[in-house]
Every structure is written in structure tokens, then in C-alpha cells.
Amino acid sequence: MAVLVTGGAGYIGSHTCLELLNAGYEIVVVDNLANSSTESLKRVQELTGKDFTFYQTDLLDQEAMEVVFKQNKIDAVIHLAGFKSVGESVRLPLRYYHNNMTGTLVLCQLMQEHAVKNIVFSSSATVYGMSDSVPISEDFPLSATNAYGRTKLMIEEMMKDLYESDPEWSIALLRYFNPIGAHSSGKLGEDPNGIPNNLMPYITQVAAGGLNELHIYGSDYPTRDGTGVRDYIHVVDLARGHLKALEKVVSSKGIEAYNLGTGRGYSVMEMIASFEKVTGQRISYRITDRRPGDIGVCYSDPSKAERELGWVALKGIEEMCRDAWHWQSNNPQGYQKEKPILFTGIS
């Protein structure tokens, strides 16, 4: 069975491609390399010993995407391509709407034309907005607080309409919590452009000496130690969640959303302590103001994914920290790609 993976060269994409190949799937990768490099794909090939087809193609390029569908017999799509920086989406909303919405629209139109109706979509816990309570389950009210989040929400809505119009579609909306960590080989990992926005890559870069100190965004949240609590999930567990969702979409019709998280929350202080414990590195930090738009506590109820997909996250926080550091210390310059200067944090 051939699976088209959009955004396959990125952080989550490369780990997902590796798991797909190891599980015996044939894959076709499409990526415009806006926030990734072919180096990750070379490493996927080395680690698996398997070949696959890669197109350096933008989803917005309808003609080029048509070629991908004509040249390959695709059975299902895992759609990960998209811009993902919250802050950038606030500054450049049209860029986000154009890229994320139109890219998905082009993809779904081509899928419909070519009768490929199985899709796993990379959504986000961001679609729960400022949720009032935890753990968050899939039936919680949905909202968005920024343009990035709205693109995820609107794509979910678009896919629901698509399914309503044609029940031959089979769609899994995967709502990721906070993916961190790296492949245990130390060869695949997260390689953000510029200064990282997210906690774990910031911590690893402080440990590596590239950044001076971590700024902790607020210590007055109603949490155990006042710092923000999140549901961190190992990227390999997350990648395996995509395979479980894929099995589901190819074996039954419908549209379902699934939380991919561990169901456990850790504070920023707890993350620092775990990282220091397993790596022996000291993390200097300073407490600053809250980051605008942040919530205090966010963690999932992942039981629907366990019940319906047979998936649970297996890796704990120490393994996440250890693997993140293994990747960072083996690859101090990431994949050493030419990094775009104008737009940061795009994938």
C-alpha cells in the first residue's frame, strides 16, 4: 500500500516516514523544504535501508501535485505539511491562511479527483482554545485564539463538510499535544529555524551553550509550582499514532478526531528538573512575564485513541529528555541546511 506523506521531511514527518517504512508501507513524500531539508530524508533512508520517492513540491502548486497523483498509485494520505508558528501567524495571517488552507484544499481536490479518500490530518490541541478544564477530551468545545489555530480548526471543519458530502471519505483528525524528543539513533530530531519558540528545543540549546538562559514565561499560574503545565509526548509515540490512525482510515469509513497525548501534565520546572537529571546538564533560567495567549494547564484525555485505535504513548518524560539531548548534542547545527532568514518557524 502506498501512502503519500505531505511535509514528510519535517520533524514529525521524518519520524512518521521512518515508522511507515519500518512497518512495510511504500511511501511517497512531498515537501517544499520551507522548514526542512533533504538531509532528514537521507537519514530516514539510511536508518531503514529502504528507498522511497520524494518530490520537492509545494501543495499550492496544483499542476506539480497533479503529477504526483498521476505518477503514483496512492492509497492514503498523511497530511502534515503546513506553517506552524503561532507568533508568525499573528504577524502574517494571510500567509498562514493561504498556505495551510489552500494547500489542504488543493490536496483534497486532487484526492477526490483521483478517488483517494483516506486521510490522516495533522491537527493540534490548539483547536481546544482556552479550555476551562483538564483533561481535555475530543468532545470539548472547539475554538482558536490565533490565525495558526484557526487554520487547523477550519481545516477540521472543511474535512467534516467533505465527509458529509461524500461518506466514502475516511478521515482521522489527530490533535497533537506537545511533541518533543527525537529518534533514539540521534539521527532524526527537531531542527527549528532561528531561536526556538518551544520549550524543549530552547532547553536543549541552552544546554548546548548556543543560548544563555531559558526564560520561563510566568510562575503565577494555578499549578503545582506556578509554571505552565503541558502534555509532552515523544515524537516516536506520536509517529506511531499516525500508523494506527492510518490502519483505521483504510479499514473503515467516517471522520473522527483523536487526541495524541500521554494524559499527564508536566510543568516547566519539572521539565527542567527531568532534563537536568537525565543529561547531567545545568539549565540556567530566569522567570519572566507570562507569554501572551498562553494557558496555564493543558493535558489530554487520550482514552479515545486507546479505545478506537489501540494506541497509547509508551515513552516517559525522561526518555523524551534523553533523546532530545542525544539529538542536539550529536547535531549541534541541526541538519545544517541553508536556513531561510525572512520567515522563521515555518514547516
Q: What are phi and psi of 15, to 5 degrees?
A: -65, -35
Strand 214-217, strand 118-124: pairing: unpaired
Contact with ligand UFG (CB under 6 A) among 55, 140, 202, 258 = 202
Q: Exactly one of 11, 96, 148, 221 is catalytic; name it.
A: 148
Contact with ligand UFG (CB under 6 A) among 294, 306, 308, 319 = 294
96 is catalytic: no
- Interface with ligand UFG by CB under 6 A: which range of 65-73, 159-167, 213-221, 302-310? 213-221
Which CB, 118 or 126, lies closer to ligand UFG? 126
Which CB, 228 or 302, lies closer to ligand UFG? 228
Residues near ligand UFG (CB under 6 A), total: 20
Query: Does the protein bind ligand UFG through residue 343 (CB under 6 A)?
Result: no
Q: Is the peptide bond before 179 cis (omega within 30 degrees of 0)?
A: no
- Spatial separation of the C-alpha atoms in residues 125 and 79, rounded to whole Å: 16
Contact with ligand UFG (CB under 6 A) among 79, 84, 234, 242 = 84
Query: Does the protein bind ligand UFG through residue 96 (CB under 6 A)?
Result: no
Which CB, 68 or 298, lies closer to ligand UFG? 298
- Partners of 78 in the β-ladder: 5, 120
- Partners of 31 in the β-ladder: 56
Name the nearest CA neighbour of 138 among 251, 241, 296, 255: 255
- Spatial separation of the C-alpha atoms in residues 36 and 137, rounded to whole Å: 32
Which CB, 100 or 118, lies closer to ligand UFG? 100
Contact with ligand UFG (CB under 6 A) among 37, 178, 262, 274 = 178
Q: Which residues inside 255-284 make contact with ligand UFG, applying CB under 6 A?
A: 268
Q: How many CB atoms lie within 10 A of CB 146?
A: 19
- Spatial separation of the C-alpha atoms in residues 10 and 76, rounded to whole Å: 19
Query: Does the protein bind ligand UFG through residue 215 (CB under 6 A)?
Result: yes
Shortest Å, Cβ 200 to ligand UFG: 7
Query: Does the protein bind ligand UFG through residue 291 (CB under 6 A)?
Result: yes
- Partners of 170 in the β-ladder: 118, 254
- Spatial separation of the C-alpha atoms in residues 263 and 313, rounded to whole Å: 9
- Confirm if 52 and 59 have CB atoms less than 8 A apart: no
Query: Does the protein bind ligand UFG through residue 99 (CB under 6 A)?
Result: no
Q: Which residues inside 109-168 make contact with ligand UFG, applying CB under 6 A?
A: 124-126, 149
What 3-state DSSP class applies to 75? Answer: coil
Residue nearest ligand UFG (C-beta atom): 228
Number of residues written out for the chain: 347
Name the nearest CA neighbour of 239 among 143, 168, 152, 323: 323
Query: Does the protein bind ligand UFG through residue 35 (CB under 6 A)?
Result: no
The residues carrying an active-site annotation are 148
Query: Given the rule CB under 6 A, which residues bind ligand UFG?
Result: 84, 86, 124-126, 149, 178, 197-199, 202, 214-217, 228, 230, 268, 291, 294
